[in-house]
Structure 1
Amino acid sequence: MSVLRKKPPVSGNRIHKMGSALREDGVVATPDDWETYLLHQTEIVGELVKQLGDFADSNSAVLLGGQTMEENIVPGSGTYMVSGRPKTKISLKEKLRHRQETPLERIQDVAGARLDCDVTLTQQRRIADELCDLFTKCGATRVDIKDLRDGSHSGYRAIHLHLRFPAGFAEVQVRTALQSHWANVYESAADIFGRHIRYLHEENQVPLSLAARKVVKVKLLHDLSAHISQVEEKRDECSSVHSRDDLDYDMKHRQEIISELESNIQFILNLLDEEFRKVRASRRK
């Protein structure tokens, strides 16, 4: 039987108590339960990644451009990548403290997986719908699709599948090439300026320090996120128009402009990523 269909090895009451302790002082009084809990979350992630990988392999020609899994997903590559991870203890403590009313057993993304792929917005939604059916067949008792591509959400844009299995909660993200690249660079920024910048969209979050608020790079990343949204909408519009002889020239011109905009965004993100890498490296010395 798949791990997704099995009840968790640690009771909800014990998970609740571990979460309360983690939120208060960061110490878990029952390390054996904690290790069992994390191992179970890791097993859930493994099954999610397997299902996503099988889905991508069998649908690559139809949904994902016919290419194969690659580490770097860029616009025009037709590639995709599957990844997953359970949240770390530090990340969980941070999230529990930001969400005082949410107990550990109801944190949606302790077990999380991603499908990053070079697709349009329309294709992205179609993939999310297909995955909804897939995970229902895998035993999900509830699947909620959260489209986070229009709101700010601290700049993060993706489609989230919030899943509930007998094994517990899980989350799967479907991201386009630019959405994925932006999120990875923003995570690098959070390592430097503070993890709390990821929660800017939430109410009652701790405000940025004056120094961090003045950081031009953070504002630039937020501006880039909005720009990515606009460019992807234009790409989606172009892909939905059936080509005709009298439109071919105009359409090709629009596509060239969009490709240039995507390349410019990629270039800026690469520059920021390299800068953040150098800062992190200097701090480790």
Structure 2
Amino acid sequence: MWPLPISKKQLNKLGKRLSLHSTPEREDLLSLNQVLLAYQAILDDVKGSLDDIGLPATTRVKTTSTLIEKLRRESSMSLSRVQDIAGARIIVNGGRLEQDQVVKRIIDFFAPEHDVLPRAIDRRTTPSSGYRAVHVVIHPSGVPVEIQVRTELQNAWAQLFEGLADRWGRAIRYGGNPDQPRRVVMRLSRRRSLTRQSLMGMLTFASEEIDRIERLETYIESIRSFVSEVDSGTHKHWSLDDSGQLKPITGDDATDAMIHYRRIRRAFMETMESLLPDRRARGRLIRRHVPRNHSPTPQFVLERIHGCNLAVADLERARDEEFRHRTGATRLILDTLQRRLELGGPT
């Protein structure tokens, strides 16, 4: 059953009139308010469903002025197809892995309930003016509702950016320049100052750094998973028995050692390729820990496994230290700018 007070055809005609007229008719504004009240009721139901599956969310329905502005900016967009009139926001405590898990839970939960399948829009690899998140669009009763899923860093960046957009003009949300781009917002020294335009450059850098940090966190999780599988003997290429010896395959020690070594060499090379972008550094590690050997002994294979584990553990520690340093520096930038915003600056 269509949940809005007017038909989809009437809704699109209403949107067209609102986008064309500089001063909307009173009747059109009243109709739009009724539509937004209906969206609010739909959104309340969505929030209840998210609460039920342990995903508490904040929600909002676009204001009349914001929606009319969007219709005028995107004149070809039909009102019934605007997917973010009603929106929910979920902030995950972890990084991208947790974000992906939450997105999957939302899709799995709402897919059986709605005729239109949920659709995920990944704005992490293709950000909009630096904004990164994953949006899931669901269609309760055929009406689009957008659920934003953000990490803490993505949310901190977005909150700061939105606060600046309210002060410096909403054009920056769509790739435009701030109002008065050369206006000084911060004195760095007697000769150096920070303008609105240069601060926007800092935010762009922070957005890119957040992307690098979250990719790095994913790499670290992959390393930890690799180490855990090796330690437990469940890795597909590491075949050790409970006593830490190579599991028999053919019954011939020499043949088994050769098969095992080929497996661990391939696994280590694949792991390093995904975790270590520097090709030369990767090559040195591979030659050091899994050199070519056409007749390895069981003892040699066990030594190589031990060496590979140490190499991966060292890489994990280095990446973890880099992750903590970059995260701390980025949080400091965002927190400093946010405090200045709350205290009345940047202006």
Looking at structure 1, the residues matched to 42 and 181 of structure 2 have their Cα atoms a distance apart, in angstroms, of 36
**Kept after mapping to 2: 8 A contact 1:18/1:29:** no
SS in 2 for 1:109: coil
Q: Does 1:225 align with 2:207?
A: yes
Report the counterpart of residue 47 of structure 1 in structure 2: 45
Q: Does 1:272 align with 2:337?
A: yes
Taking structure 1 as the reference length, the TM-score comes to 0.79
Superposition misfits of 4+ residues, deviation over 6 angstroms: none
Within the candidate set 52, 70, 73, 1:98 is matched to 73
Q: What is the one-letter code of the residue matched to 1:208? A: N
CA distance 1:26–1:158, shift in 2 (3 Å): farther
In structure 2, runs of 5+ residues without a counterpart are 183-195, 232-308
SS in 2 for 1:115: strand
Report the counterpart of residue 240 of structure 1 in structure 2: 222
Deviation at 1:102, TM superposition (A): 0.1
Deviation at 1:28, TM superposition (A): 4.4
* Superimposed CA distance per residue, residues 168-194 of structure 1 (whole angstroms, 9 cap, x where no aligned partner): 111111111111111111100101111
Deviation at 1:141, TM superposition (A): 1.8
Report the counterpart of residue 244 of structure 2 in structure 1: none
Q: Which structure: larger Rg?
A: 2
- Give the structure, 1 or 2, with the largest relative contact order (CA under 8 Å, sep 6 or more): 1
**Kept after mapping to 2: 8 A contact 1:85/1:113:** yes
* Superimposed CA distance per residue, residues 50-78 of structure 1 (whole angstroms, 9 cap, x where no aligned partner): 22222236xxxxxxxxxxxxxxxxxxxxx
Looking at structure 2, the residues matched to 47 and 253 of structure 1 have their Cα atoms a distance apart, in angstroms, of 46
Deviation at 1:98, TM superposition (A): 1.7
Report the counterpart of residue 34 of structure 1 in structure 2: 32
Looking at structure 2, the residues matched to 261 and 192 of structure 1 have their Cα atoms a distance apart, in angstroms, of 29
Deviation at 1:123, TM superposition (A): 2.8
Identical positions, percent = 26
CA distance 1:234–1:28, shift in 2 (3 Å): farther
Looking at structure 2, the residues matched to 119 and 187 of structure 1 have their Cα atoms a distance apart, in angstroms, of 22
Deviation at 1:230, TM superposition (A): 0.6
Q: Does 1:56 align with 2:54?
A: yes
Q: What is the one-letter code of the residue matched to 2:125? A: D
SS in 2 for 1:44: helix
Within the candidate set 157, 175, 195, 2:170 is matched to 195
CA distance 1:273–1:15, shift in 2 (3 Å): same
Q: Does 1:147 align with 2:122?
A: yes
Q: What is the one-letter code of the residue matched to 1:169? A: P
CA root-mean-square deviation:
2.4
In structure 1, runs of 5+ residues without a counterpart are 58-80, 201-206
When structure 1 is superposed on structure 2, of 97-106 and 117-126 the one drifting more is 117-126
Deviation at 1:101, TM superposition (A): 0.2
**Kept after mapping to 2: 8 A contact 1:52/1:115:** no
Aligned length: 249
Q: Does 1:7 align with 2:21?
A: no
CA distance 1:140–1:133, shift in 2 (3 Å): farther
Q: What is the one-letter code of the residue matched to 1:274? A: R
Report the counterpart of residue 114 of structure 1 in structure 2: 89
Report the counterpart of residue 163 of structure 1 in structure 2: 138
CA distance 1:21–1:212, shift in 2 (3 Å): farther
Taking structure 2 as the reference length, the TM-score comes to 0.66
